[in-house]
């Protein structure tokens, strides 16, 4: 206490101001510095909602729609509290503003164990982080945080607008507010009925003192299975993705980039490319801090003309500044780091290392995973138009604020002079958290001022110039007691730090220094109750560009950890489900999810053979990520050439209160299929400094015929909603690997899974 008093006294006036600020409530998120874009007659009631004449209701959303259905879910929150039919609502993208900064993702990014969330210290740290992110955070769609982040502000915006409309209606009718109600987009005041559009202007001037959010028992929209708002437009082709943008006089660009990581342009034939039909300009690119490599771009009347002209450049490249080792050498480096070092502990309690060393029965194994590419279905693209003082960009991005800042820096204009036109994106998976395409397209457009230029990367460009999921190795050890229970467990992983790499490219400062929890999340933050645990990570510096891939650390750490738990269960001679349940006595939600999946999959009963008569085995995995608990049981057989085939995945999910069951089920199916593809085929390998894979034939995402039956089980919950975009991917690989062990007796410890 004396030391604390001394430290606080030393802070002086600044410390007093900081402490005073920390006790204030977070800054409001309803009204920003930039009004939403409106059309004639529309009135913004706050930063999240505009009401137009007649029945027009527009919800302003700061999250990117990249196929996850978030626009519909957020519109449902608004429709619920505003008391309007969802069919009357349309959605537009928000401007860049502080009120839309993603608070939930930043709080979830803290290196805190979930069991510590409810402690006094945990609550204080999360509170202070949320307040700070309201001041300096960034707009971002990621970390499966969209619903969690907007759950309160979107509902508050709707409820506040509804209260303002009630006040305006009461004033117009000359009756007390208590005698008014809303129904279906109308304020009912006695015998009079006022559509919201007729009250919008008056309501905008109201500042309700009391605003009440609906209780779950009052929900009529939230919790209902609802089709997506953009569903018809997507089916009919009316949706405009970033790649569909067409502007008057627009030109197209293709770019030649180094075949070897770390190379730069030595020389090229500018005149040869300019002589090709339709070519208008050739632009040499130096790259930027956003991660776009150096290269040479060709601008032409069509993309195909630009692409074909690249060969005429005859680019010669410099040797790489830091050569990329071949993949076997990378794997050896990671395994050595994981087994020979102690690393930075993310969580430690008890004397885990000593207990393991002293145990009569020990289980020890080293796991590893390869680099994985994002392979978003819509090719990477951006359209930019620059002038001397302004810039505009048309793009599907997960980080519009970061894109704006990067465009401003490359174009040499103020950020206020940059307009970001956000579009739907054909998949993101973390790839569109980056702004390299924005930087590269801006550098090209700057060379042809006044002309809109659309840059499109080929699939080969995308695969070989991706920010991959890091290759990682992990060394795990466990000491078992006489009864087979885990007395202590240690885990030490080694690999690159994805969020620190993103910080270096300018997106966030939080992980520029200090621990990057994404390196080993999925091990130290799980609900299992070990008497002693030490989970650590060693950052390994490698010249391969890495970033955030669906699930981030959970995508591979879950495979390491859940596969190793199965090894422990086998060594103890125990059933894998019972073994896990014994480690979850103080975590009833985790127990319930695991039991639900096991019961639905008929765990413990004989498994029917595959249609071709091949034997089928089950494997189980449980994982917590992004606030959500998921248990999965995979049913697997072996096909031709001993290739694993996944027939069925039973998936139980506790993601808190479910906003739209359709979306959760769709995200579960998507994540499971994505996870199967990554588990069985996902790998980018390097040889001679170059990625050996270039397109889908080498990447081999699973085909329709390989897709399993997926049974999705949603656990009832009154908790606030948590993430659903990524959590269902993490348990897939270990569930498959554990089934393969039961089927073959071979323990697979590397991703992708390959049987000998």
Segment 111-155, tens digit of pLDDT: 899 999 999 999 999 999 899 888 887 899 999 999 999 999 999
Q: What does DSSP say about strands 89-93 and 57-61: parallel, antiparallel, or unpaired? A: parallel
CA-to-CA distance for 463 and 259, rounded, in angstroms?
11
CB 349 within 8 A of CB 532: yes
Pick the range with the lowest mean pLDDT from 349-353, 424-428, 511-515: 511-515
The conformation of residue 111, written as its DSSP 8-state character, comes to: S
Can 43-227 and 242-320+382-456 be said to share one CATH topology? yes
Answer yes or no: are the C-beta atoms of 124 and 18 closer than 8 Å: no
* CA atoms within a 13 Å half-sphere pointing along the CA-CB vector of 548: 30
Average pLDDT over residues 389-402: 97
pLDDT above 70 coverage of the chain, percent: 96
Band of residue 693 on the pLDDT scale cut at 50, 70, 90 = very high
Using CA atoms, how far apart are residues 167 and 176, in angstroms rounded to an integer? Answer: 8
- pLDDT at 38 (0 to 100): 79
CA distances to 630, 654, 751 from 669, rounded to whole Å, are: 13, 15, 21
Count the residues in the chain. Answer: 756
Ranges of beta strands (E only) in 326-447 are 344-349, 361-369, 381-386, 391-395, 418-422
Distance CA 201, CA 304 (A): 50
Neighbours of 745 (CB within 10 A): 7
Find the mean pLDDT for residues 544-573.
98
Q: What is the pLDDT of residues 711-721, one digit of tens each?
A: 999 999 999 99
What are the b/e assignments for 116-143, b being 16+ CB within 10 Å?
Answer: beeeeebeebbebbebbbbeebbbbbbb
Nearest CA to 686 out of 293, 325, 259, 257 is that of: 325
What are the C-alpha distances in Å from 558 to residues 30, 565, 671? 38, 10, 14
- Segment 669-680, tens digit of pLDDT: 999 999 999 999
Q: What is the pLDDT of residue 23?
A: 66
pLDDT at residue 13 in the model: 53
Res 587: pLDDT: 98
263: alpha, beta or left, given left = phi > 0 and alpha = psi -120 to 50?
beta
At 53 the pLDDT is 85
Which of 299-308, 514-523, 730-739 is predicted with the least confidence, judged by mean pLDDT?
514-523
Strands 251-256 and 453-456: parallel
> What secondary structure does DSSP assign to 706-730, as a single string?
GPPEEEEEEPP--SPP---SSTTTT
Tokens 């899974």 belong to residue:
753
CA triple 304-398-500, angle to 5 deg: 105
Name 282's bridge partners: 298
Q: For residue 11, is pLDDT > 50? A: no
Residue 250, C-beta contacts closer than 8 angstroms, at least 6 positions apart = 383, 451, 452, 453, 454
Mean pLDDT of 342-360: 96
How many Cα neighbours within 13 Å face the side chain of 435? 29
- Integer Cα distance of 306 and 300 in angstroms: 5
Q: Which residues have C-beta within 8 Å of that of residue 168, sequence separation ≥ 6?
A: 187, 194, 199, 202, 203, 206
CA 42/CA 200 separation, integer angstroms: 8
Question: Which pLDDT tens digit goes with each residue over 190-205?
Answer: 899 999 999 999 999 9
The two structure tokens encoding residue 285:
């690119």
Nearest to 743 by CA among 548, 558, 610: 610
Q: How confident is the model at residue 510 (pLDDT cuts 50, 70, 90)?
A: low
Predicted confidence (pLDDT) at residue 223 exceeds the cutoff of 80: yes
Q: What are phi and psi of 495, to 5 degrees?
A: 170, -175
The band of 641, judged by pLDDT with boundaries at 50, 70 and 90, is confident
Model confidence at 400, in pLDDT bands (50, 70, 90)?
Answer: very high
Residue 187 C-beta-side C-alpha neighbours within 13 Å: 27
Contact present, 396 and 424 (Cβ < 8 Å)? yes
pLDDT at 306: 98
Q: What is the pLDDT of residue 14?
A: 57
Tens digits of residue pLDDT in 434-488: 999 999 999 999 999 999 999 999 999 999 999 999 999 999 999 999 999 999 9
Q: What average pLDDT does the segment 249-268 reach?
A: 97
Token couple for 496: 């690159």
C-alpha dist (Å) from residue 94 to 1, 36, 91, 200, 251: 47, 6, 9, 20, 27
Position 402 pLDDT exceeds 80: yes
Q: Is the model's pLDDT at 5 over the cut of 90?
A: no
Reading the block at residue 400, the tokens are 């519009």
Whether domain 242-320+382-456 has CATH 3.40.50.970: no
Please give the Cα distance from 401 to 405 (Å, whole number): 6
Q: Which of 580, 576, 599 is nearest to 591 (CA)?
A: 580
Architecture of domain 341-373+468-751: 2-Layer Sandwich (3.30)
Beta bridge partners of 251: 453
Q: Is 230 helix (H, G, I), strand (E, B) or coil?
A: coil
Question: For 229-252, how does the pLDDT look when each residue is reduced to its tens digit (9 = 90+)?
Answer: 999 999 999 999 999 999 999 999
Q: Would you say residue 206 has pLDDT above 60?
A: yes
What span, in angstroms and rounded, lies between the C-alpha atoms of 468 and 129? Answer: 28
What is the mean pLDDT of the segment spanning 352-378?
97
Three-class SS of 537-575: EEECCCCCCECCCCCCCHHHHHHHHHHHHHHHHHHHCCC
Tokens in use for 572?
């103890």
Q: Are 684 and 463 in contact (CB under 8 A)?
A: yes
Residue 311, H or E segment: helix 303-313
- Model confidence at 45, pLDDT cuts 50, 70, 90, reads very high
Q: Tell me the mean pLDDT in the region 187-191.
A: 94
CA dist 356 → 480, 491, 521, 531, 550 (Å): 8, 11, 22, 11, 33
For domain 43-227, say whether CATH 3.30.365.10 is its number.
Answer: yes
CB-based contact 533:503 (threshold 8 Å): no
Answer yes or no: is pLDDT of 7 > 50: no
Q: What is the pTM of this model?
A: 0.95
Q: What residues pair up with 363 in beta bridges, in sequence order? A: 478
184/193 Cα distance (integer angstroms): 11
pLDDT at 99: 95
Conformation bin of residue 409: beta by default, left when phi > 0, alpha when psi is -120 to 50: alpha
Confidence of residue 22 (pLDDT cuts 50, 70, 90): low
Look at residue 507 in the predicted model and tell me its pLDDT. 77
Look at residue 329 and tell me whether its pLDDT is greater than 50: yes
| Per-residue pLDDT at 194 | 97
Alpha carbon distance 550, 305 (integer Å): 34
Sequence ranges of the domains in the chain:
43-227, 242-320+382-456, 341-373+468-751
Segment 641-661 shows an average pLDDT of 97
Distance CA 564, CA 533 (A): 14
For range 90-114, the mean pLDDT = 93
Question: In which band, very low, low, confident or very high, does the pLDDT at 3 lie, cut at 50, 70 and 90?
Answer: very low
pLDDT band at 36 (very low <50, low <70, confident <90, very high): confident
Check whether 20 has a pLDDT greater than 80: no
How many angstroms separate the CA atoms of 679 and 23, rounded? 47
The torsion angles phi and psi of 365, rounded to 5 degrees, stand at: -160, 155
Identify the band that residue 10 occupies on the pLDDT scale cut at 50, 70 and 90: very low
Contact 212, 159 (CB under 8 A): yes
Judged against a pLDDT cut of 50, whether residue 652 lies above it is answered with yes
CA distance 491 to 533: 8
């Amino acid at each position: 206490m004396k030391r604390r008093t001394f430290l606080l006294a030393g802070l002086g006036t600044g410390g007093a101001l900081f402490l005073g600020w920390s006790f204030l409530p977070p800054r409001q998120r309803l009204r920003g510095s930039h009004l939403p874009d409106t059309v004639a007659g529309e009135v913004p009631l706050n930063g999240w909602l505009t009401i137009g004449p007649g029945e027009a209701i527009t919800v302003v959303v700061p999250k990117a729609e990249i196929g996850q259905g978030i626009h519909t879910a957020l519109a449902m929150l608004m429709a619920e509290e505003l008391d309007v039919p969802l069919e009357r609502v349309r959605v537009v993208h928000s401007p860049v503003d502080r009120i839309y900064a993603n608070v939930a993702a930043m709080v979830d990014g803290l290196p805190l164990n979930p069991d510590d969330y409810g402690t006094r210290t945990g609550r204080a740290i999360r509170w202070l982080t949320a307040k700070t992110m309201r001041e300096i955070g960034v707009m971002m769609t990621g970390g499966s945080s969209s619903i969690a982040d907007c759950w309160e502000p979107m509902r508050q915006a709707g409820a506040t607008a509804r209260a303002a409309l009630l006040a305006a209606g009461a004033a117009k009718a000359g009756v007390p507010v208590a005698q008014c109600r809303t129904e279906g987009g109308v304020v009912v005041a006695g015998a009079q009925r006022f559509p919201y559009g007729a009250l919008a202007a008056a309501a905008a001037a109201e500042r309700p003192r009391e605003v009440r959010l609906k209780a779950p028992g009052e929900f009529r929209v939230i919790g209902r299975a609802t089709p997506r708002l953009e569903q018809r437009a997507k089916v009919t082709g009316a949706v405009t993705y970033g790649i569909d943008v067409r502007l008057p006089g627009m030109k197209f660009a293709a770019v030649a980039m180094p075949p070897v990581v770390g190379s730069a342009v030595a020389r090229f034939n500018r005149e040869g490319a300019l002589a090709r039909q339709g070519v208008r300009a050739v632009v040499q690119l130096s790259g930027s801090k956003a991660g776009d490599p150096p290269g040479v771009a060709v601008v032409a009347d069509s993309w195909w003309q630009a692409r074909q002209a690249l060969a005429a450049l005859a680019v010669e490249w410099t040797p790489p500044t830091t050569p990329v080792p071949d993949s076997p050498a990378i794997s050896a480096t990671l395994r050595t780091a994981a087994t020979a070092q102690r690393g930075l502990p993310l969580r430690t309690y008890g004397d885990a290392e000593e207990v393991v060393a002293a145990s009569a029965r020990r289980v020890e194994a080293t796991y590893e995973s390869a680099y994985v590419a994002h392979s978003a279905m819509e090719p990477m693209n951006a359209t930019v138009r620059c002038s001397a003082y302004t810039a505009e960009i048309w793009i599907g991005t997960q980080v519009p604020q970061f894109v704006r800042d990067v465009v401003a820096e490359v174009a040499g204009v103020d950020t206020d002079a940059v307009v970001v036109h956000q579009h739907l994106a054909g998949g993101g998976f973390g790839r569109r958290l980056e702004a390299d395409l924005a930087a590269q397209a801006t550098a090209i457009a700057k060379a042809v001022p006044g002309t809109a230029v659309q840059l499109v990367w080929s699939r080969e460009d995308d695969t070989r110039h991706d920010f991959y999921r890091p290759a990682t190795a992990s060394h795990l050890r466990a000491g078992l007691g006489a009864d087979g229970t885990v007395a202590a467990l240690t885990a030490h992983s080694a690999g690159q730090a994805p969020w620190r790499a993103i910080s270096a490219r300018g997106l966030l400062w939080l992980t520029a220094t200090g621990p990057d929890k994404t390196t080993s999340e999925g091990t130290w933050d799980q609900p299992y109750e070990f008497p002693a645990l030490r989970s650590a990570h060693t950052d390994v510096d490698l010249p391969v560009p890495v970033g955030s891939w669906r699930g981030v650390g959970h995508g591979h750490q879950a495979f390491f950890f859940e596969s190793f738990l199965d090894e422990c269960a086998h060594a103890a001679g125990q059933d894998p489900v019972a073994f896990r349940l014994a480690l979850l006595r103080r975590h009833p939600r985790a127990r319930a999810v695991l039991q639900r999946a096991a019961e639905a999959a008929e765990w413990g009963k004989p498994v029917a053979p595959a249609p071709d008569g091949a034997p089928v085995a089950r494997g189980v995995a449980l994982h917590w990520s992004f606030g959500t608990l998921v248990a999965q049981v995979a049913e697997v057989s072996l096909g031709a050439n001993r290739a694993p085939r996944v027939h069925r995945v039973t998936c139980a999910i506790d993601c808190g209160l479910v906003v739209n069951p359709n979306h959760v089920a769709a995200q579960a199916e998507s994540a499971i299929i994505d996870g199967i593809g990554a588990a069985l085929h996902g790998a980018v390998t390097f040889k001679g400094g170059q990625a050996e894979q270039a397109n889908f034939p080498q990447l081999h995402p699973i085909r329709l015929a390989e897709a399993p039956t997926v049974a999705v089980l949603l656990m009832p919950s009154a908790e606030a909603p948590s993430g659903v975009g990524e959590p269902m991917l993490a348990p897939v690989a270990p569930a498959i690997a554990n089934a393969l062990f039961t089927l073959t007796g071979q323990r697979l410890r590397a991703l992708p899974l390959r049987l000998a």
